[in-house]
Structure 1
């Protein structure tokens, strides 16, 4: 299982990042220069499968890398929850996934969103 406090610390250490709780969604949102690049939340138990009740981290990701990740980790790396599944992923934070991979995906999301400013 991944250590979310370490992931949170890593996300906040990236350049130009702010973090705020989105009251309406009940999600913690990470922003780079005012643009969302990561969200941490627990999907409601009534959410559709396979998201229901899972502790998730959603990140922007390159479509080709998404295809590879979903093939390798089909039950852990899911299409982005409430986002474009072609360019966003949701990671099950309670699953057994290498933390280094998750931190790299956080960096990649930050870079992808930063590049658009």
Structure 2
């Protein structure tokens, strides 16, 4: 998956915005104002930071050693850095984006969840 495919999939999700709050090299995706994905535009090969359930994060890091690692500049418990253009299966990448999005949506306030539902 290249960065453009990653971007297209992220912005296709309900309530998602994209911005550059950390500078022009890091594209950030938010759902209802909360980050769920970051991608470094200057990283070669391309990588993305995605939120992940802590137990699953450990399992993924063991199964995809070197391709899924603790989140770069993020909480190492709740975030993974994932190689986009290497040997991580495409369907797994989509699943990990969905998982990150869902974790953030689940943590939204009732008011924000209602606003998202009504979009």
Distance, in Å, in 1 between the alignment partners of 2:107 and 2:5 is 27
Distance, in Å, in 2 between the alignment partners of 1:77 and 1:62 is 14
* 8 Å contact from structure 2 (residues 46, 85) kept in 1: yes
Q: How far off its partner does 1:42 sit?
A: 4.9
Can you give the 5+ residue segments of structure 2 that lack an aligned partner in the other structure?
109-119
TM-score between both structures, scaled by the size of structure 2: 0.82
Distance, in Å, in 1 between the alignment partners of 2:6 and 2:46 is 13
> Which has the higher mean CA deviation after the structures are superposed, 21-30 or 33-42?
21-30
TM-score between both structures, scaled by the size of structure 1: 0.83
Match of 1:8 in 2: 7
Larger Rg: 2
Q: How far off its partner does 1:24 sit?
A: 3.0
CA distance change for structure 1 residues 99 and 20 in 2, over 3 Å: closer, same or farther? Answer: same
Q: How far off its partner does 1:26 sit?
A: 2.3
Higher share in helix: 2
* 8 Å contact from structure 1 (residues 41, 56) kept in 2: yes
- Tell me if 1:104 matches 2:95: yes
CA deviations over 1:2-35 (Å, ceiling 9, x no partner): 2332221111111100011235362000000000
